[in-house]
């Protein structure tokens, strides 16, 4: 293998740039040429491909977003689109591809791999919802962004003795809401992986009030329902007045945390190693404190039961 390429796809996540840097530098260290593909799979189809030097990825490890940009690409979901992509790669003598993104992006990588082109996926999404890895790039940074917001909101909640609802991202996954809720000292946390009972929430709020707790923070994962919907429910069912804060897109950006930068460096390097070792059609990941790679197919296989011990702990600590 003499030439590889790297692209970012799907929603951006802090640490993508650090991963691009690692792929490029590790590749060059191993004697490879490395190309950057701009605008994700769409750019691949359109041939927006340029060689990257060690210097071209300098001073990006600390930046949010992705210097290669990202975009949606319906065309890539068609066989015709993927054929055009493969043509672009072959034309340039590119022999391996690193795809940095979430599970939607990994599906594309799996398809290319099935078509015989060596691909490796690097999991990057603040949602931490990719089967087979304990952590995805961006999750740690987003966690810190969310708890910073909760800390700020708590200032007002305490000063005004109010109940706040904070809506947190995560698509169908509750990890970000759960970790942020525990770290933020939230009184109640709602995640899609667990059923909730409005009556129980109301009675917890009431009990807190009876014990003299005059403010309260509820975290709701967007996968459960919107913050406004929960507020309406609490008002309708129990006459409880709340304020809602929908954190929104600030959760996706920002300079990556130390943890995310180190993880990105490891993931990027491992992806190059996997390509060089001929292990294609794999994703890199973190499992039991070790960097590994594993078949991309596992990402789409139902998924192992998540450990939700943290959820139970959150209830015990918010008494």
**With CB under 8 A as the contact rule, which of the stretches 43-51, 86-94, 109-117, 147-155 interacts with a copy of itself?**
147-155
Q: Does 172 bind a copy of itself (CB under 8 A)?
A: no
Among 46, 47, 56, 64, binds a copy of itself (CB under 8 A): 64
Per CB under 8 A, 116 contacts a copy of itself: no
- Report, in Å, the least distance between residue 291 CB and a copy of itself: 8
- Output the smallest distance, CB 275 to a copy of itself, in A: 15
Q: Segment 89-108, which members bind a copy of itself (CB under 8 A)? A: none
Binding-site size for a copy of itself (CB under 8 A) equals 84
State in angstroms the smallest separation of the CB of 46 from a copy of itself. 14
Identify the residue among 31, 74, 212, 302 touching a copy of itself (CB under 8 A).
Answer: 212
Length of the chain: 319
Closest listed residue to residue 122, CA positions, set 142, 107, 137: 137
Choose which of 202, 276, 308, 310 interacts with a copy of itself (CB under 8 A).
310
**What secondary structure does DSSP assign to 268-300, as a single string?**
HHHHHHHHHTT--SEEEEEETTEEEEEEGGGGG
- Is position 129 an interface residue for a copy of itself (rule: CB under 8 A)? no
CB 247 within 8 A of CB 166: yes
Closest CA to 100 of 20, 45, 3: 20
Annotated active-site residue in 12, 46, 59, 127 = 127
Is 104 one of the annotated binding-site residues?
yes
CA 27 → CA 22, 110, 204, 307, distances in Å? 8, 21, 54, 36
Is 251 one of the annotated binding-site residues?
A: yes
- What are the structure tokens assigned to 182, written together? 């525990």
DSSP 257: P
Q: Is residue 79 at the binding interface for a copy of itself, with CB under 8 A as the rule?
A: no
CA distance 242 to 125: 30
Residue 173: both structure tokens together: 């996954």
* Dist. CA 137–CA 180, nearest whole Å: 16
* 313 lines the binding site for a copy of itself (CB under 8 A): yes
What is the widest separation between alpha-carbon atoms in the chain?
A: 71
206 is an interface residue for a copy of itself by CB under 8 A: no
Please choose, from the candidates 34, 37, 17, the residue with its C-alpha nearest in 3D space to the C-alpha of residue 25.
34
* Contact assessment for residue 118 and residue 292, using Cβ atoms and an 8 Å cutoff: no
> Which residue's CB is nearer to a copy of itself, number 194 or number 213?
213
d(CA 96, CA 50): 15
Q: Considering beta carbons, is residue 225 or 262 the nearer one to a copy of itself?
A: 262
Nearer to a copy of itself, 55 or 278 (CB): 55
Does 102 appear as a known binding residue? yes
Q: How far is CA 304 from CA 134, 284, 287, in A?
A: 11, 17, 13
Q: Is 127 marked active-site?
A: yes
Q: Is 245 in the site for a copy of itself (CB under 8 A)?
A: yes
| Six token digits for residue 242 | 């709340």
* Position 287 contacts a copy of itself (CB under 8 A): yes
Closest distance of CB 288 from a copy of itself, Å: 4
Q: Does 127 bind a copy of itself (CB under 8 A)?
A: no
Does position 259 interact with a copy of itself (CB under 8 A)? The reply is: yes
Query: 264, 141 in Cβ contact below 8 A?
Result: no
Among 109, 252, 274, 283, binds a copy of itself (CB under 8 A): 252
Residue 319, judged by CB atoms within 10 A of its CB (0-12, 13-18, 19+), counts as exposed
Annotated binding site for ATP: 11, 72-73, 102-105
Annotated binding site: 11, 21-25, 72-73, 102-105, 125-127, 154, 162, 169-171, 185-187, 211, 213-215, 222, 243, 249-252
Catalytic amino acids? 127
């Amino acid at each position: 293998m003499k030439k590889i390429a790297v692209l970012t796809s799907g929603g951006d996540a802090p640490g993508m740039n650090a991963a691009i840097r690692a792929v490029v530098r590790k590749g060059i260290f191993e004697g490879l040429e490395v190309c950057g593909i701009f605008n994700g799979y769409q750019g691949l189809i359109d041939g927006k491909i340029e060689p990257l030097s060690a210097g071209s990825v300098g001073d990006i490890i600390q930046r949010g977003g992705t210097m290669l940009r990202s975009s949606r690409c319906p065309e890539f979901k068609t066989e015709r689109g993927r054929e055009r992509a493969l043509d672009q790669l072959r034309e340039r003598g590119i022999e391996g591809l690193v795809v940095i993104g979430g599970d939607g992006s990994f599906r594309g990588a799996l398809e290319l791999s099935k078509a015989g082109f060596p691909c490796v996926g690097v999991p990057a999404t603040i949602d931490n919802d990719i089967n087979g890895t304990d952590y995805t790039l961006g999750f740690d940074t987003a966690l810190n962004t969310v708890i910073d917001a909760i800390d700020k909101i708590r200032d007002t909640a305490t000063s005004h003795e109010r109940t706040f609802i904070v809506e947190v991202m995560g698509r169908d996954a509750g990890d970000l809401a759960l970790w942020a809720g525990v770290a933020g000292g939230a009184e109640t946390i709602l995640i899609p992986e667990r059923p909730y009972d409005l009556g129980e929430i109301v009675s917890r709020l009431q009990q807190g009030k009876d014990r003299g707790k005059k403010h309260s923070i509820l975290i709701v994962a967007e996968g459960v329902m919107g913050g406004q919907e929960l507020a309406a429910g609490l008002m309708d069912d129990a006459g409880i007045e709340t304020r809602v804060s929908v954190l929104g897109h600030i959760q996706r950006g920002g300079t990556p945390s130390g943890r995310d930068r180190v993880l990105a460096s490891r993931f990027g390097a491992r992806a190059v190693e996997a390509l060089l070792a001929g292990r294609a059609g794999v994703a890199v990941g973190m499992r039991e404190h070790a960097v590994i790679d594993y078949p991309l197919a596992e990402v789409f296989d139902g998924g192992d039961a998540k450990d939700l011990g943290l959820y139970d702990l959150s209830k015990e600590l918010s008494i």
